[in-house]
Structure formats: C-alpha cells, structure tokens
Amino acid sequence: MAEAIEIYDDRLRGILRPVGSLQELANGAVHSEGPVYFHEDDSVVWSDAHGNRLLHWSPTDGVSVLRSPSDYQSGNYRDLEGRLVACSSGLRAIIRREHDGEWKILVDRYQGKRLNSPNDLVVKSDNTIWFTDPPYGITEPNQGYGGEQEQPGSYVYRFDPATSEIYPVVTDMVRPNGLAFSPDESLLYVSDTAAFNIPGGPHHIRVYEVVDERHVQNGRVFCVIDPGQPDGFRVDEHGNIFTSSEDSVQVYAPDGTQLGKILIPETSTNLTFGGKERDRLFITAGHSLYTIDLNTRGVQL
C-alpha cells in the first residue's frame, strides 16, 4: 500500500523514510484503539474498544483475541515493570495485568465517587499513571455499561500506584482524551475531543507546564485539529507530536507548526511507537491496525 503524504514544512522530510510504506497489519475490529508495543516478541496489543475485546498481533502469529469481553478497555500502556496498564471504560477504572496474568483494578474512585470512564493513559518515568476521564463509557452505549456520572467534570488525574494517591491535575477541559509528555516530561499535552458529540466543542490539543512533577499550570491551545478530533497521540524523541485525526496522522513540531500529514485510509484513533529501534509507528484506525517506518524514534518504552 503506497502511503500518501502531505508535506507542509521541510522538517517533515527528515522524519520520513525516503521510501516508506504504510502497511495494513490487521482488520476486522469494530473500532480499533489504544495500541501498545511489546519489544519482547515484536507484538502489539490493542483494544477493539466498541467490540469489547482486546486484540494481539505479532509478525509470527498474526491476529488473536487476548481478552473477550474486555470490559470496554480503551487506552493501553506499560508500566516500568513492563506490565500492561489500561483504561477500562466499562469498569470505570484503571486496571493492570499482573505478572501472573490476572487483571487487577488499581483505582476506580476519587473522593469516594466513581470515576467517569478512563479513556487514555500514560506512565511517567516515576511510574505514576496520568489518565483522562471523559464520560464516554457512560454516555455512549458501545463504549461501556452506562450508569450515572458521579464526578462533577471530566478531568485528567495523576494516580500513584505505590501509594494509591489520586488527584486531578487538569480540570479546565471539556472532554480530555489522549495525553503524552514531552521527552523531558516538562510539558503535558492533552487532547480535547468534545466536538465528537458537542456542537461547537473543542477539537484541539492543549499543552501545560509540569510543576514539581506533580501538577500542571499555564494551559494553552497547542494546535487545532481538522478534520475530526485528536483522539490519541504520541511524541517522538525530538518533541514532534504525531496525532490521530479523521483523515490522517498529523505531525506537529514542538513550536506548534503543522509539518504535514500521513494519510490513512480509515479514521485514526491512536498510535504508538515500536519496533526494535522504536522507529516504527503502529496506528489504530477504524477496523484496522496499520504500521509505517519512520526516520525518528518514540520516547515511550
């Protein structure tokens, strides 16, 4: 499959391989989301978020179902011990796969009230889990089990699995969804996908300064995404942002300049860096999982 690239700034040429190609690795999901890479066997785990399954792809075994039902698991990541940590939109919790394979709820409440429905997460270098909590698992029948919203808003939380301390770090967004730190973790980027079902709502990525590794301040709009919304996104070693959108993976420099687009045949939802050199992008989009080799590396494990 020959990929289509739109280049708006020459800096993108240094990021792309001279001859790269977009490959479809898997299809058949209802709604692909939340890819996470396992370097141990060069495999990818991702969520069929609306199909209520967790899927697995490897170059040797192809596609298999890892977990069904998955309680509407959405975003996935790995902690510093390599364990899979995930947002469970159905259980309204952050969950973790233990070394023995059992799944454990790490946190499902803040101040005694149930979380909305955690959507996406990132593990910081201090092993704290930062996650978004929009209400999609409550409001959207194909993303959770419904129920009542108990939290007064849709926040971004910082959770420390070592102490179980949890508190909101971002409270001024409408529907926070994807998130990522800059390479030195001095900045936190968070996407807002409110335009998905709120007419006139935001469809942008905000950036915040991280303070004392525990809080954020001075949030501002980093980029506005069109067409569609920025669901999940990732950052490379140079601080460039690779974000999902309706028609493509859009690439932004750390200064906010849009460098260009990698067009994807389906609406992309999320992505992650992988491969032995961490220079391969794995993209969840529509029913499928895609990959493309780049000339840059991701910052995450």
Structure tokens at 140: 């959207």
Do the beta carbons of residue 207 and residue 218 sit within 8 Å?
no
Provide the binding-site residues for Mg ion, judged by CB under 5 A.
119-120, 177, 231
Q: Decide whether 43 or 177 has the Cβ nearer to Mg ion.
A: 177
Do the beta carbons of residue 209 and residue 218 sit within 8 Å?
yes
Q: Decide whether 119 or 240 has the Cβ nearer to Mg ion.
A: 119
CB of 120 to Mg ion, least distance (A): 5
Around 257, how many Cα atoms within 13 Å sit in the side-chain half-sphere?
9
CB of 232 to Mg ion, least distance (A): 5
Q: Decide whether 149 or 257 has the Cβ nearer to Mg ion.
A: 149
CB of 270 to Mg ion, least distance (A): 6
Q: Decide whether 73 or 240 has the Cβ nearer to Mg ion.
A: 73
Q: Decide whether 133 or 231 has the Cβ nearer to Mg ion.
A: 231
Task: Give the Cβ contact number of residue 143 at 10 Å.
Answer: 23
CB of 55 to Mg ion, least distance (A): 16
Do the beta carbons of residue 270 and residue 260 sit within 8 Å?
no
CB of 118 to Mg ion, least distance (A): 10
Of 222, 263, 264, 229, nearest to 245 (Cα)? 229
Rounded Cα distance between 236 and 216, Å, is: 21
Q: Decide whether 119 or 250 has the Cβ nearer to Mg ion.
A: 119
CB of 22 to Mg ion, least distance (A): 21
CB of 74 to Mg ion, least distance (A): 6
Q: Decide whether 16 or 273 has the Cβ nearer to Mg ion.
A: 273
Largest CA distance in the chain: 54
Whose structure tokens read 């959207």?
A: 140
Rounded Cα distance between 122 and 127, Å, is: 9
Q: Decide whether 268 or 291 has the Cβ nearer to Mg ion.
A: 268
Rounded Cα distance between 173 and 193, Å, is: 10
CB of 94 to Mg ion, least distance (A): 14
